Structure 1
Amino acid sequence: MKKPIIFILIFTFAMSFTACEDYLDIVPDERPTDEDAFRSPNAALGYLYSIYGYIPNQRHSFSIDLLTSDEVVTAFEHENWAQFPRGEYTASNPVISYWNDLYKGIRQAYIFKSNIDSVEGIEQSTKNQYKAEADFLIGYFHFLLLRMYGPVVIADKQFDINMPAEDYPLRATYDESVDFIAGKLDEAAQGLPMEQTSSSDFGRATSVIAKSIKARMLLYAASPLFNGGGANNSSLFNGFTDHDGNQLISTSYEEAKWQRAADANKEAIDIALAAGNRLYANSDYDSEFPEDPIEKDLRYVYVDKQTDELIWAETRREGVYAFQNKSTPFIPGTSWNGVAPTLTILESFYSENGLPIDKDPEYDYQGRYNIDSTALGNTLSLNLNREPRFEAWISYHNDYYEIIRDDQKRIVTNYRRNDDEGIQGRSNNYSPTGYLNKKGVAPLLDQSRLQVSVNYPWPVIRLAELYLNYAEALIETGQNLNTAKEYIDKVRVRAGIPTIDEAWAPIGGANDQETLREIVRQERTIELYLENHRFWDLRRWQIADQYLDTKAKGMNIQGETDEEFFQVTEVKFPRNFSQRNYLMPIPQAEVNKNELLIQNPGY
C-alpha cells in the first residue's frame, strides 16, 4: 500500500542537533514525579515523540556509519566524523558516542511506561499501543548499543538514578543481550499495528519494524565477529571476560545462530509482504531523467516518497549542508561536490552481465584502466559496460548527472583539475577520487539556490535488505541454497541484471556455499551502498582490517589532460584500522563511574 509521507513531529525536535539535551526542551525534568510531562494527552504524546528523538540521525555526516567506511572518501576530512576512518578515537575521546544518549532514551521510555496509565482522556487501546512503542524503543536502543559496543548493560527496568555505585548493573554477555532484545522486540510487536494507517504517524513503530530489527540483530549475532569467529573458530575475543571469568563474547561457533537468523528474517519478510511492502519498480515518478526505466527505478528506490519498499525511514528533514548538497556537482555556495566513491566500490559493481568484473569473460578486466570514447567524450573503460546500479548511482567523467541546474535537467560532469567539477585550486569542495555519488540524490533537486528542494525519508530498513539478510543466513547454514539464490535474484532482477544461475552459467555456475557467500556479500555491498550498512557489515564479517586499513584510490584529480587524469592514484587521506576498532570504546567517563564496568578490548 502506498503511503504518502510527511515529515512528522516525531523527529523534527532533533532536526539539527547532535546532543539529545538540545532537542528535549519540550520535556520537563525526566523524573516520574514531574506532572507536566503527563498533564494531558498531548503532553504525553509529546513525551513519547521525544523518546524517538534519541534515535541517531543516520542521514547526516555526524552519523557514525554513513561516510566512515570504504565506500566513499570526501573533501570534508576536517569534520569530526572523519576521525573514524582515520582510527583517531579513544575511550577518552570517542568522537561520536551514543552510549549516554541511548541509555537516557531507555530511561525515558521506562518513565513513560510507568506514567501513561495515569493520563486521562486517552483510550486504553491507545495507551497499550504507546507502551508497545516504548518497549520497541527500549529494544531498539539496546540493539544500537549492542551493534556499537558489543555486550551491553541490560536496562530491564527504570533504575534509581541515585543508586550507590556498588549497585550499578554490569555488562551482560553478548548472547544474553541478544536474548533480552529479541524478547523485548517480540513483546513490542504484539502490541503494535502492522502498519501506520495515518500519514502523520509515518516513522512510528510497527510490528513489521520490530520484527525487522530483531531479524537484523540476529543476523549480526550469527556473524563471525560475534559467533566464535565463524566456522574456522578465529575469535578475536579470547580473554574478554567479566570479573567472574565469564566470556562476554562467545569464542565458540554455533551454526544454529544462522538458522535462528534465517527464521527471523523469513518471519519479517512475510509480515512485511502482508503489510504491503514491495520492491520498488515500474516507477511512474514524474521526471524526465534518468531516461532508462531501470535506472530511474534505482535512482528513486527510496527517494520517491510513495515507495512501497521502505519498512522504516528516518523522517528528519535534511539540512543544506548535508548529504544531497555534499554529493552534487560544484556550485559556489550551493553544492559541495565532495562525496566521492572509491575505486574499491567502483570495482565492486557488476558488469552488465551481472558478474564480478574480474570473472566476466566478456569484460576486459585487464584493460579497465584504458581510456575509451563515448558520445559525451573520453572516459575510463572501467565506467563502461557496467550494471544499471553503477549507471544510476555513480557519476564519472563525461557522464550525465541528473539534477536541475538553471534550465537544464541534467549536466555533463568533468573531474580533471581545471574542469567545473575538478579541484581547481580549492582545498575543499572537490571530489578526491574524480567521481561523485548520485545515490540518494533526487534527480529533481533544484540547485538554483542554497536549499534542499527535495526532501525524502532516509531508509533505515527496506525490503531488499531483508531479502539479502535471509539469503545470507540460509547460505551460512549450508542448506536451502536454491532458496537463498531466489531471494538474491529478486534484488538482482529489479536491478536489471540476470539471475545468479543465468549469469554464472558460462563460468561453471554458483552452487557451493563459498561462492554464494561471496555473491551475497557483494550484493549487499552494491545494493546497500551508502545506506549505513557497510560500516557494520565489514566488522561483523570480521574482515574490516582488509578494507579499512588502507588508503582509498581514485583518479589523479591533479591531472589536467585525459592522459594525466585517468591514472589510478592513492588518495592522500590516512586510513587506519586495528583489531580494537571492531568495537567502539565505552566512554572512559562511564568506566570511571563504575570500576566494575569492563572496557572493550584495546581501549
Structure 2
Amino acid sequence: MNVFKQLIALVLVVAFAGCTDYLDVVPDERPTEADAFKNIYAAENFLYSCYSYIPNPRSGTGSIDFMTADEVVTAFEHETFANFPKGNFTASNPVISYWNTLFKGIRQCYLLIDGIDQTPGLSDQNKTLYKAEAKFLIAYYHFLLARNYGPTIIVDGVADINTPFEDFPSRAHFDDVIDFIAKTFDEAAAELPVRYSSTSAYGRATSIAAKALKARALLMAASPLFNGGGEDQTSFYTDFKDEEGNLLISTTYNPEKWKRAADAASEAIQLAEANGHALYSYNESLGETYPLDETLRDLRYTFIDRYSQELLWADTRNEGTYELQNKSTPFIQGRAWNGVAPTLTMVESFYTENGLPIDVDPNFDYDNRYAIATGPNGTTLNLNLHREPRFDAWVGYHNSYYEIIRDVDGEVVEQIKTQFRKNDNCGINGRSNNYTPTGYLNKKGVHPKLEQPTLMAPSQQYPWPVIRLADLYLIYAEALIEYGSATEFATAKEYIDRVRTRAGIPTIDEAWGVVGGASTKETLRRIVRDERTIELYLENQRFWDLRRWMIAEDYLGVQAKGMNIQGATDDEFFRVTTVPFQRQFRSPAFYLMPIPQSEINKNEKLVQNPGY
C-alpha cells in the first residue's frame, strides 16, 4: 500500500490566517526529514504540520459530511460536496477520500514522536507536549478512518518504506480499532494540558478534547451499525470478513458498549466543567447586537463567538469566500448567494414553542401546518409560527427577519425581512443559481455582524466547532438511554434538559407531561435523537448519526421538499413541492465510504467494504 511509502512533506499548518489570537504558524519552507528537528523552530513547524492532515470540516471541496445529509439542499449542486447526497461516488472515483491523507498524517505524527528528542535546545516539557499532541492526532486520525471506512489498519509506528508487499498489513477488527483509539486518546490526555496559556495556541490538542473525542468514538462503536445491529435490527456485516475469513465487525449486540461510552462521556464532562467550560451565554462585552431577544442571541452566537466556553475543540482555519456565510446570506449580486436552504424535513424537525415535536404537541395544528397564516411580519405558513427559539434563530422563512448588517437604499440596517416568492428580495427571480431551492434560508453559522461590501472572504471569522459541550451532553444522554434503566433515564433527562433550557424550551418532563410523559426507552430514544438533529443542525454530525443509527436510507435516499419557489403569489408559493435534485442512498454500501480501488489493487490483503 503506497501510504507506507510516502515521504514526509511539510504542508500548510492548521491556521486561522490573519488573526494573531489563533494558531497561525505557516512554515516558510518544506524541510526534508533530515532537517525536521535541526532546531526549535523546525521542530515546531513539524508539529504544526501534523495538524494539517485534518479534513476541513466546512469546506465544500474537502468535507464529506458538511451539507451532505438531509438538513439542507443548496443551489450549488455542481460543487464537489453535492456528489455525496446524489450518491455519485464509487471505489474507483470516491470524489473526496480521506484514506491516503489520514495515513500520511499518522506517519507524520510517528516521525515526530521518533525524532523530537534530538531537537537541540527544545525543553523536556515541550518534547513531552509535542509527543502528546502527536498521539492525540494519531488517535483522531484513526477515529476518522473508522468512522468513514469501518475496520481499518491500525498503525502503531513508522512503517518501513521498504516493506515487501507480502508483509503489508490488513484491516483490523473494528472493536480492536476502537480499543486502540481509546487507549491512545487516554495516553495523550495524560500529558496534554486542559488549556494553553497563550491564545496563539488555540486549536491545539488538549486533554479535554482527547476525552471528549474518546467518548464520541465509543458512542459510535456502541451504535447499531457497529454493534450487531443494536437491540432491534440485524447487522449488515454477517459476511464482512478479511482475506483469512475473520469477521471484521461484530454481529452480536453488546449493551456494555453503551456503558463504556457513558462512562467516557461522564469523565469528559467532569473534566470540561471543572476547567471552566459551560453552555454558551452571550458575552455582553460584544455590545448590543441583533437578535435582541436574549435566547435567540445566545443560540445565534453559540459557536460564532470565538471565545465561547462551550467549544471543547475547534478547527481554526479561515472561512473562504465561497463557503457557508456568503452562501447562506440573502442575495446580493456577486457577493451573497442566498443558496443554503433548510429542507422541509429539517424545518419540521424543530420543536414547537412547547418543546414537543410538531406531530406530538396537542396545541400545534399539525394537520393544517401548510395553511397560510398571518404572522407578526406578514403572511407565512402555520408551520413557521409558534416554533421553538432554535428555529427562529437558525432558519429564515417567508416574512421573517434575517439578522445581518446591510446597506439598504443608503441606510445601514442590522436585520432585513426575507421574502422568498419568485420575484421577492430572496426569490429565484429567474436565476439558474444563487437561490434557495426550498423557500427557506439557513442562518446558523452566519454572524449577525457580517458585512458584504464586495466579493471577499467573510468579514466575521470564527473557529468551527469540532466538538462542543452540548454535543458531549447528548453523547452522555444517548449512551445512558440505550444502556439504562430508570436511574440512567433520569440522569439522561437532566443532561438533555441542560440543552433544552439553554434553547428556551421546557424540560422533558414539563413538555411531555401533557402527552403521557417520557419514561420509556423508545420515547427517550426519539427525544435524544431529535435533540441531536436540532441542536447539532449543520455541524457535520447528522451525516454520521443517520448511519450509525442504521436509518440513513429512510432520509438520505429521499428527494427534499420545500415551498414552490416559482410561485409569485402567496397561494402559489405556499405549496409543498419536491426539489428536483437527485438523491440516492444504496444500502448497505453507503453506510461506509469506499476504500479507493487503487489502494485495494496495491494491497491484496485489503478487502473492500460491502457493496462496492
TM-score between the two structures when normalised by the length of structure 1: 0.95
SS in 1 for 2:420: coil
Q: Which residue of 1 aligns with 2:489?
A: 481
* Number of the residue aligned with 2:294: 293
Query: Could you report, residue by residue, the CA deviation over 1:357-402 in whole angstroms, capped at 9, with x for unpaired residues?
Result: 1110100101110111123211111000000000000000111000
Matched letter for residue 261 of structure 1? A
Contact 1:54 1:101 in 2 (8 A): yes
SS in 1 for 2:359: coil
Q: Which residue does the alignment assign to 2:97?
A: 97
Corresponding residue SS for 1:403: strand
Q: What CA distance in whole angstroms lies between the structure 1 residues aligned with 2:417 and 2:16?
A: 39
1:61 aligned residue:
60
How do 1:176-187 and structure 2 match up within 5 A? 176-187=176-187
Question: Residue in 2 aligned with 1:466?
Answer: 472
For 1:53-452, list aligned pairs within 5 A: 53-62=52-61, 63-284=63-284, 285-406=286-407, 407-451=412-456, 452=458
Whole-Å separation in 2 of the counterparts to 1:27 and 1:113: 19
Post-superposition CA distance 1:555-596 (Å, at most 9, x none): 000001000000000000010001100000000110010111
Q: Is the 8 A contact 2:509 2:517 kept in 1?
A: yes
2:505 is aligned with 1:492? no
Offset of 1:10 from its aligned partner?
4.3
465-474 or 236-245, which deviates more = 236-245
* SS class of match (1:38): coil
SS in 1 for 2:404: coil
Aligned to 1:42: 41
Going from structure 1 to structure 2, the CA distance change for 1:270 and 1:427 (only over 3 Å counts) comes to same
Match for 2:31: what amino acid?
A: P
Q: Residues 27 and 47 of structure 1 are in contact (CA less than 8 Å); yes or no, is this contact kept in structure 2? A: no
Once residues 244 and 265 of structure 2 are traced to their aligned partners in structure 1, the CA distance between those partners, rounded to angstroms, is 35
Range that drifts further, 52-61 or 346-355: 52-61
State the partner residue of 1:4.
none
Offset, 1:232:
2.4
Tell me how far apart the structure 1 counterparts of residues 109 and 427 of structure 2 sit (CA, whole Å): 49
Indicate yes or no: 2:573 matched with 1:565. Answer: yes
Shift of 1:425: 1.3
1-side partners of 2:30 and 2:312: how far apart? 29
How far apart are residue 424 of structure 1 and its match?
A: 1.1
**SS of residue matched to 1:400:** strand
How big is each residue's C-alpha offset from its partner over 1:98-145, in whole Å with a ceiling of 9 and x where there is no partner?
000100000011111111000011110110010000011111000000
Matching residue of 2:599: 590
- 2:274 alignment partner AA: A
Match of 2:513 in 1: 505
Residue number among 27, 30, 35 corresponding to 1:27 in the alignment: 30
Cα 1:601/1:97, change in 2 over 3 Å = same
Give me the whole-angstrom Cα distance separating, in 2, the residues matched to 1:372 and 1:432.
22
- Distance (Å, rounded) in 2 between the aligned partners of 1:596 and 1:291: 60
Gap regions ≥5 residues in structure 2: 1-11, 19-25
Runs of at least 4 residues of structure 1 off by over 6 A?
none
SS at match of 2:550: coil
- For the 8 Å contact 1:194–1:275, the answer to whether it is kept is yes
Native 8 Å contact 2:27 2:45 kept in 1: no
- Report the counterpart of residue 12 of structure 1 in structure 2: 15
8 Å Cα contact 1:102-1:145 kept in structure 2 = yes
Contact 1:241/1:247, CA 8 A, preserved across alignment: yes
Distance 2:123 2:500 in 1: 46
Distance 1:206 1:129 in 2: 10
| Mapped partners of 1:197, 1:264: distance in 2 | 26
CA distance in 1, matches of 2:455, 2:233: 53
Q: Does residue 600 of the first structure (1) align with residue 602 of the second (2)?
A: no
Structure-2 residue corresponding to 1:6: none
Query: Residues 241-299 of structure 1, C-alpha deviation per residue, up to 9 Å, x if partnerless?
Result: 01222110110000000000000000010111112100002442324310110000000
After TM superposition, give the deviation of residue 439 of structure 1 in Å: 0.5
Letter in 1 for 2:43: A
For residues 495 and 197 of structure 1, the distance between their equivalents in structure 2, rounded to whole angstroms, comes to 31
**Paired position in structure 2 for 1:20:** none
Range 529-538 or range 451-460, more displaced: 451-460
d(CA) in 1 for partners of 2:549 and 2:327? 30
Are 2:16 and 2:318, in contact at CA under 8 Å, matched by a contact in 1?
Answer: no
TM-score, length-scaled by structure 2? 0.94
Corresponding letter in the other structure for 2:30:
V
Q: Give the deviation of 1:230 after TM superposition.
A: 0.4
| Cα shift at 1:26 | 3.6
Q: CA deviation at 1:12?
A: 2.7
Per-residue Cα deviation, 1:24-67 (whole angstroms, up to 9, x for no partner): 884334x4xx22x1111011100110110110000222211011
Given that 2:17 and 2:318 are in contact with CA atoms closer than 8 Å, whether structure 1 keeps it comes out as no
Letter of the structure 1 residue corresponding to residue 37 of structure 2 = F
C-alpha separation in 2, matches of 1:264 and 1:382: 39
How many angstroms does 1:349 deviate by? 0.3
Aligned-residue offset at 1:80: 1.2
User: How far, CA to CA, are the matches of 2:27 and 2:581 in structure 1?
Assistant: 37
Deviates more, 1:56-65 or 1:548-557: 56-65
Once the two structures are overlaid, the 10-residue window that deviates more, 231-240 or 456-465, is 231-240
Report the CA distance between 1:478 and its aligned residue: 2.4
Aligned residue type for 1:367: N
In 2, distance between residues paired with 1:550 and 1:186?
A: 40
Q: Decide whether the 8 Å contact of 1:113 with 1:131 is kept in 2.
A: yes
Alpha carbons of 1:13 and 1:113: their partners in 2 closer, same or farther (altered >3 Å)?
farther
- In the aligned structure 1, how far is the partner of 2:16 from the partner of 2:464? 17
| Alpha-carbon displacement from aligned partner over 1:536-569 (angstroms, at most 9, x marks no partner) | 0000000001101110000000001000000000
Q: Give the letter for the 1:423 counterpart.
A: I
**SS of match in other structure, 2:116:** helix
- State the match for 1:5 in structure 2: none
Structure 1 CA distance, aligned partners of 2:438 and 2:82? Answer: 16
User: What percentage of residue pairs aligned between the two structures are identical?
Assistant: 61
- CA displacement at 1:346 relative to structure 2: 0.3
Other structure's SS at 1:351 match: coil
Residues 373, 276 of structure 1: CA spacing in aligned structure 2 closer, same or farther, 3 A cutoff?
same
Matched, 1:575 2:579: no
Among 498, 514, 528, the alignment partner of 1:520 is: 528
For 1:440 and 1:370, the matched residues in 2 are separated by: 30
Show the counterpart of 2:23.
Answer: none
**SS of the residue aligned with 1:404?**
strand
Taking the aligned partners of 1:54 and 1:27, their CA distance within structure 2 comes to 15
Distance in 2, matches of 1:598 and 1:124, equals: 43
Tell me if structure 1 keeps the 8 A contact 2:102–2:141: yes
CA distance in 1, matches of 2:280, 2:390: 14
Say how many residue pairs are matched: 584
Contact persistence 1:280–1:297 (CA under 8 A): yes
Letter in 1 for 2:42: A
